């Protein structure tokens, strides 16, 4: 766990403040500073004729970037922790944010939702989509239209586990996050029941029995993962299994509190690569999550 800031990307094209709200929640809950980063493109790369010709346009972009960070600073003016801002030049926004995260030893990288997405849900824009496929640090995804009260802190951290070998790593990262922000930990296994599992002549109780057996197995899996947590974490998480006939229903039935965070794991293309890469299950959870999601490598 690094000692760096909560880094939030905010560009001239951003209209919402969800990412800034989430960055403030995380920073104030953990007692860390906020670093607002605005990336402008390096259109020409190495020095040459084009750079001089396009100098006016570069100045225009720099002016937009300054306005963006000034607006972000105004939104975060009443933040109880230190807020810094930085304008960086890079070949792309994801490259600039990744570089800034590395240089600042960022704890988390926060991104806002796309303006094209549904209100109250996470929508991955082009920059965010690339970040969750390339970031070396956890990426926190804000809901579109996210707002918190001034005194709101992280209310609970929920780890989404599925019994896979990587689930325990997700649980450990979620436990660390909960300890950092001073919030209780919950461990949930989500599942979707598509259609009817058995024909009508088998009886309605047959499906109920199968579901109950699955619930018991899932609970045992969750307990085994929790028991493997180091004793130093000293946490006693709530355990829950949440299912439904769709991912939206399964997520909704879990129940959520104000200021909650959902932690999901990524799947790397190579085991040795500590990079965020969303798998199919994590993608579905992110799409239907009613709270901000932290994707961990």
- How many CA within 13 A on the CB side of residue 75? 25
pLDDT for the residue numbered 182: 95
* Digit-coded pLDDT (tens) for 145-175: 999 998 899 999 999 988 777 788 899 999 9
**% pLDDT > 90, the chain:** 49
Where is 88: in which H helix or E strand? Answer: strand 83-90
Q: Which of 122, 150, 178 is the C-terminal boundary of a domain? A: 150
Domain of 41? 1-150
pLDDT of residue 276: 45
Q: Which residue has the higher pLDDT, 271 or 186?
A: 186
Mean per-residue pLDDT, 177-189: 94
Indicate if 15 and 132 belong to the same structural domain: yes
> What's the predicted TM-score (pTM) here?
0.86
Same domain, 167 and 243: yes
Using alpha carbons, select from 157, 120, 65 the residue that is nearest to residue 248.
120
- Answer for the pair 112, 18: CB distance below 8 angstroms, yes or no: yes
283-297 per-position pLDDT tens digit: 889 989 999 999 998
* CATH code of 64's domain: 3.40.50.620
* 167 and 117 housed in the same domain: no
**185/40 same-domain check:** no
Examine the domain organization and report whether 38 and 170 are in the same domain: no
Average pLDDT over residues 106-132: 87
End-of-domain residue from the set 150, 168, 191:
150
User: Which has the closest alpha carbon to 251: 283, 279, 295, 225?
Assistant: 283
Q: Poorest-confidence range of 34-43, 77-86, 202-211?
A: 202-211
Chain segment 121-151, per-residue pLDDT in tens: 898 888 888 888 778 899 999 999 999 998 8
Instruction: Give the best-scoring range by mean pLDDT among 107-121, 147-161, 218-232.
Output: 147-161
| Together in a domain, 60 and 131 | yes
Q: Are residues 136 and 17 in the same domain?
A: yes
């Amino acid at each position: 766990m690094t000692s760096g800031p909560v880094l939030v990307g905010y560009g001239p094209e951003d209209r919402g403040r969800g990412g800034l709200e989430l960055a403030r929640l995380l920073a104030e809950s953990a007692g860390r500073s906020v670093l607002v980063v605005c990336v402008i493109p390096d259109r020409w790369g190495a020095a040459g004729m084009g750079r001089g010709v396009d100098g006016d346009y570069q100045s225009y972009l720099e002016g937009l970037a300054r306005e963006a960070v000034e607006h972000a600073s105004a939104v975060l003016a009443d933040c109880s922790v230190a807020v810094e801002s930085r304008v960086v030049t890079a070949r792309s926004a994801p490259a600039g944010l990744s570089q800034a995260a590395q240089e600042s030893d960022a704890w988390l990288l926060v991104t806002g939702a796309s303006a094209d997405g549904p209100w109250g849900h996470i929508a991955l824009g082009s920059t965010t989509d690339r970040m969750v496929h390339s970031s070396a640090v956890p990426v926190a995804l804000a809901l579109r239209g996210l707002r918190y009260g001034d005194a709101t802190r992280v209310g609970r951290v929920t780890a989404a586990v599925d019994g896979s070998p990587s689930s325990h790593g997700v649980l450990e990262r979620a436990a660390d996050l909960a300890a950092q922000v001073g919030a209780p930990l919950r461990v949930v296994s989500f599942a979707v029941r598509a259609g009817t599992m058995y024909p009508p002549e088998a009886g309605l109780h047959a499906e109920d029995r199968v579901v109950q057996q699955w619930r018991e197995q899932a609970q045992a899996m969750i307990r085994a993962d929790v028991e493997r947590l180091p004793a130093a974490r000293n946490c006693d998480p709530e355990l829950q299994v949440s299912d439904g006939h769709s991912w939206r229903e399964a997520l909704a039935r879990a129940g959520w509190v104000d200021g909650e965070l959902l932690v999901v794991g990524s799947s790397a293309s190579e085991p040795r690569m500590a990079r965020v890469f969303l798998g199919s299950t994590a993608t579905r959870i992110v799409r239907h999550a009613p709270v901000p999601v932290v994707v961990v490598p």
